[in-house]
Amino acid sequence: MRSDLVSALPLALDAQQAIPIPTQLTAQIRQLIAEQVLSPGDHIPSTRALAKQLGVSRGSVVTAYDQLAAEGYIVTAHGSGTTINPGLHLLKPKELESPKPSAPRSSAQTAQPRARPHSQILNLDPGVPDTSTLIDSAWRASWRKASSNPPAQRPAQGLMDLRIEIAEHLRRMRGLVVDPSRIIVTAGAREGLALLLQTFNEPAHIGVESPGYPSLRRVPQALGHHTVDLPADSTGLVINGLPHDLDAVLVTPSHQYPYGGSLPADRRTELVSWAEHTDTLLIEDDFDSELRYVGMPLPPLTSLAPERTILLGTFSSVISPHISCGYLVAPTSWSTQLTELRSVLGQPVSAITQAAVANFLNTGALRRRTQRLRRVYRRRRATVQRSFSDVKEAELRPIRGGLHAVLICKKPADDIVTELHARGIEVTALSQYWGGSSSAENGIVFGFGSHDDDTLDWALAEISEVIH
């Protein structure tokens, strides 16, 4: 059985409950099937893999699987692994891949980093993926097929084939069951946000996280709307004290920028309750949600409040920012209005690009690529952690997901940025993520995903030297 076709199950076990672990596990897998997150024929992890993933004994998982098999929910065949019973007449699955532990680096990999020409600027931009292995046979085949038979039309919402594949991608990777009719193809998160904000009839008050992602927080102001800074901490948006006069709130519950925290379940519930009470639209930026290193991923906010939340998604971190292709998942009450506006403004993503991305998704190539990249990024994350583990002049914040690191420094961040620039390295001052607030922490943000291991080693050594 191919490991890239195994679903990683979004399970949350509680050892403090009186209910035994096998019983919890059995009940949750049944629920995933009932909710169409898992469907007939889906491969699920082996007992050994799931036990390791959840941090429980293998015996507990074996007991749960035996019970599910006895009830007819799952079947096991030698050489094919364990699957949801293909005879079940339920609907669709979920496939979240469990990243495999990264292999220890060899002595060749940890050798002295090579020198880099100072005349060449090395951009350590946060969130930029490694595209060095993107152009493979699957990628070429997807574009060849799209180019040889280009779509005759380019619907305002986007090609139906792509919207179907995006729905399947969300189901497998995020556990979110979405009808393709609620999906609108965009040229990325910023373009999707701009489309949404243009549906407002008058200037709106948009709450934005502070700190937060600079590129998105500038979009409302560029379109004539007012932004209101909302405090965020290491785990995300602070719910207590939110104003009641906002039209919408831009929130990053899966991967807060730049600290990388995930909004806890209790805060998500509080946020949804607040939004319903104040009649506020929630705009969920799901950037980097597929790249998580610590803990089980929580479901999108959209799954808690499908008629109150609009989800912004993009393929920039798992394919490339240069593909300029993303999506927007809208409540049914918004989809018609957004589609009408899109038909006036035009669909910004070419039909050939849409067809190529649809082909790439349909073959499973993106899931396989994401799984490979997780291993690469996990290794580079470990390199960053080792590089600053004993540095007294700075504190590396936990890297729970994504492709960047936050380093809290004693030395003024502006001085560090300037000195690194002189050495040929571009990093970002942490203060750039605040909305002009004086409460910004002193530190820097840098990406670790886009450069090879030798280049990263060199850059980290330079940063370590400069922060002293």
DSSP 374-433: HHHHHHHHHHHHHHTTT-TTEEEPP--BSSEEEEEESS-HHHHHHHHHHTTEE-EEGGGG
Whichever domain contains 447, its CATH number is: 3.90.1150.10
Reading phi first (left if > 0) and then psi (alpha if -120 to 50, else beta), residue 227 is in beta
Could you tell me if 414 and 321 lie in one domain?
A: no
Residue 113 lies in a domain: no
Could you tell me if 180 and 276 lie in one domain?
A: yes
Question: Average pLDDT in the 394-409 region?
Answer: 92
Between the CA atoms of 131, 133, 138 and 141, what dihedral angle is there, to the nearest 10 degrees? 70
Residue 116 lies in a domain: no
User: Residue 41 is part of which domain span?
Assistant: 3-84
Instruction: State the pairing for strand pair 281-285/248-251.
Output: parallel
pLDDT digits (tens, 9 = 90+) for 354-366: 999 999 999 999 9
The answer to whether the beta carbons of residues 143 and 134 sit under 8 Å apart is no
Helices (H) and strands (E) in the chain, counts: 14, 17
Could you tell me if 439 and 350 lie in one domain?
A: no
Cα gap 461→394, rounded to integer Å: 14
Instruction: State the pairing for strand pair 205-210/248-251.
Output: parallel
265 has a pLDDT exceeding 50: yes
178 has a pLDDT exceeding 90: yes
Residue 65 lies in a domain: yes
Lowest mean pLDDT: which of 136-145, 277-286, 288-297, 314-323? 288-297
Could you tell me if 334 and 291 lie in one domain?
A: yes
Whichever domain contains 162, its CATH number is: 3.40.640.10
The answer to whether the beta carbons of residues 169 and 361 sit under 8 Å apart is yes
Question: Average pLDDT in the 176-204 region?
Answer: 95
Whichever domain contains 66, its CATH number is: 1.10.10.10
Residue 179 lies in a domain: yes
pLDDT digits (tens, 9 = 90+) for 218-227: 999 999 999 9
Could you tell me if 145 and 10 lie in one domain?
A: no
pLDDT digits (tens, 9 = 90+) for 231-248: 998 889 999 999 999 999
Task: Say what angle helices 160-174 and 351-362 make with each other, to 10 degrees.
Answer: 40
Residue 156 phi, psi (nearest 5)? -60, -40
pLDDT digits (tens, 9 = 90+) for 44-78: 888 888 888 888 889 889 888 988 887 788 888 76
Residue 410 lies in a domain: yes
**What pLDDT sits at residue 79?**
66
Could you tell me if 73 and 151 lie in one domain?
A: no
**What pLDDT sits at residue 114?**
44
The answer to whether the beta carbons of residues 232 and 211 sit under 8 Å apart is yes
Cα gap 375→302, rounded to integer Å: 28
Could you tell me if 226 and 350 lie in one domain?
A: yes
Band of residue 38 on the pLDDT scale cut at 50, 70, 90: confident
Residue 106 lies in a domain: no
Last residue of a domain, one of 303, 333, 366: 366
438 has a pLDDT exceeding 70: no
Cα gap 388→456, rounded to integer Å: 13
**Mean of per-residue pLDDT scores for the chain:** 86
Angle at 270 between CA 183 and CA 287, to 5 degrees: 40
First to last CA, the chain: 50
Question: Average pLDDT in the 210-229 region?
Answer: 92
The answer to whether the beta carbons of residues 333 and 305 sit under 8 Å apart is no
Cα gap 259→210, rounded to integer Å: 11
Last residue of a domain, one of 320, 340, 366: 366
Residue 389 lies in a domain: yes
- The strand order across the sheet containing 428-429 reads 394-396, 404-409, 443-447, 428-429
The answer to whether the beta carbons of residues 442 and 409 sit under 8 Å apart is yes
Could you tell me if 204 and 351 lie in one domain?
A: yes
CA atoms in the 13 A half-sphere facing the CB of 85 = 16
Q: Indicate the DSSP class of residue 6.
A: B
Lowest mean pLDDT: which of 56-60, 115-119, 194-198? 115-119
What string of DSSP letters covers 81-135?
EEEE-TT--------B--PPPPPPPPTTTTSPPPP--TTS-EE--TT----TT-S
Could you tell me if 335 and 371 lie in one domain?
A: no
Could you tell me if 430 and 308 lie in one domain?
A: no
Residue 30 lies in a domain: yes
Could you tell me if 419 and 290 lie in one domain?
A: no
Q: Which residue has the higher pLDDT, 352 or 102?
A: 352
Total domains in the fold of the chain: 3
Lowest mean pLDDT: which of 42-51, 117-126, 221-230, 451-460? 117-126
Could you tell me if 279 and 392 lie in one domain?
A: no
